[in-house]
């Protein structure tokens, strides 16, 4: 098996561990999350690190990541380095590691510093003035991203971390392998905000603040938001109706079959 490893120069003391990572990862404890991918927390040589293992790599992607496209780990490493260079907070990237077998991509890892920030999913526990303050600071963070033309395609509550520091909420981006650098239009800006999936009241507050900070037409942004929400609702109801119809058709056919 061939390995490609790139290590941040500040973390070369982890080189021996990183080179041997594929052979020991499955036996490690420290599980944080396991679903499509696996996240584990480790302390190596006094350094707290988070290791992300990219799993369920389909055959097409094994070929694509070998010949046509950079791996998720490499993109996460490159984008995190770029974010930090632009003053955008993200856990410092330590390394990425790509493994190949029989000329095809086999597995990949992204390693970064541990962060004690919480995911934005805990944001819903805030209320009153505290929540308004957090939304205000979140709006500032998103405006900064968009003015720097950073368009995060996995912009969700689980991929934004937050922490209150000296009276101000600070934010940090994770899961950075799907990012585009492009001009953020009105529609792109609203679409990015919608991905957060916040309640309507919070979304309206956030959109109004976002519009004010970027000098945009507040009414136009709200119109785009409610138009998109309406389309989402129609799509959801149509999908639910189709599921019910399929279920009824299936049960009808089962009855006919056994008559």
Q: CA 194 to CA 240: how far, in whole Å?
A: 21
Where in the chain are the domains? Answer: 2-113, 118-221
Q: For tokens 């056994």, what's the residue?
A: 258
Full pLDDT tens readout for the chain, 259 residues? 678 889 999 999 999 999 999 999 999 999 998 888 899 999 999 999 999 999 777 777 777 877 888 999 999 999 999 999 999 999 999 999 998 888 888 889 999 999 999 999 888 788 889 999 999 999 999 999 999 999 999 999 999 999 999 999 999 999 999 999 999 998 899 989 999 988 889 999 999 999 999 999 899 999 988 888 878 777 767 777 677 767 655 554 555 555 5
Tokens 């490690």 correspond to what residue?
28
State pTM to two decimals: 0.84
Q: Are 142 and 192 in contact (CB under 8 A)?
A: yes
Residues whose CB is less than 8 angstroms from the CB of residue 222 and which lie 6 or more positions away in sequence, other chains included = 204, 207, 208
CATH number of 2-113: 3.30.200
Condensed to tens digits (0 to 9), the pLDDT of residues 189-229 reads 998 999 998 888 999 999 999 999 999 989 999 998 888 88
Tell which CATH classification among 2.40.50.140, 3.90.1150.10, 3.40.1000.10, 1.10.510.10 matches the domain 118-221.
Answer: 1.10.510.10
């Amino acid at each position: 098996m061939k390995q490609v490893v790139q290590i941040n120069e500040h973390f070369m003391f982890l080189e021996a561990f990183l080179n041997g990572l594929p052979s020991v990862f499955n036996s490690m404890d420290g599980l944080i999350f396991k679903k499509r991918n696996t996240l584990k927390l480790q302390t190596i040589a006094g350094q707290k690190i988070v290791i992300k293992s990219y799993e369920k790599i389909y055959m097409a992607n094994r070929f694509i990541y070998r010949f046509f496209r950079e791996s998720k780990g490499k993109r996460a490493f490159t984008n995190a380095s770029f974010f930090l260079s632009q003053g955008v907070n993200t856990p410092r990237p330590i390394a990425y590691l790509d493994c190949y077998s029989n000329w095809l991509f086999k597995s990949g890892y992204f390693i970064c510093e541990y962060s004690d920030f919480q995911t934005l999913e805990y944001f819903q526990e805030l209320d009153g003035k505290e929540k308004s303050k957090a939304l205000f600071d979140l709006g500032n963070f998103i405006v900064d991203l968009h003015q720097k033309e950073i368009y995060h395609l996995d912009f969700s509550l689980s991929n934004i971390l937050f922490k209150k520091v000296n009276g101000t909420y600070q934010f940090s981006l994770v899961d950075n392998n799907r990012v585009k650098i492009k001009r953020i239009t009105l529609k792109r800006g609203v679409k990015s905000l919608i991905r957060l999936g916040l309640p309507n009241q919070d979304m309206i507050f956030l959109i109004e603040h976002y519009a004010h900070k970027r000098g945009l037409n507040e009414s136009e942004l709200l119109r785009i938001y409610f138009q998109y929400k309406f389309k989402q609702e129609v799509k959801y109801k149509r999908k639910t109706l189709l599921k019910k119809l399929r279920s009824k058709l299936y049960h009808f056919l089962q009855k006919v079959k056994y008559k």
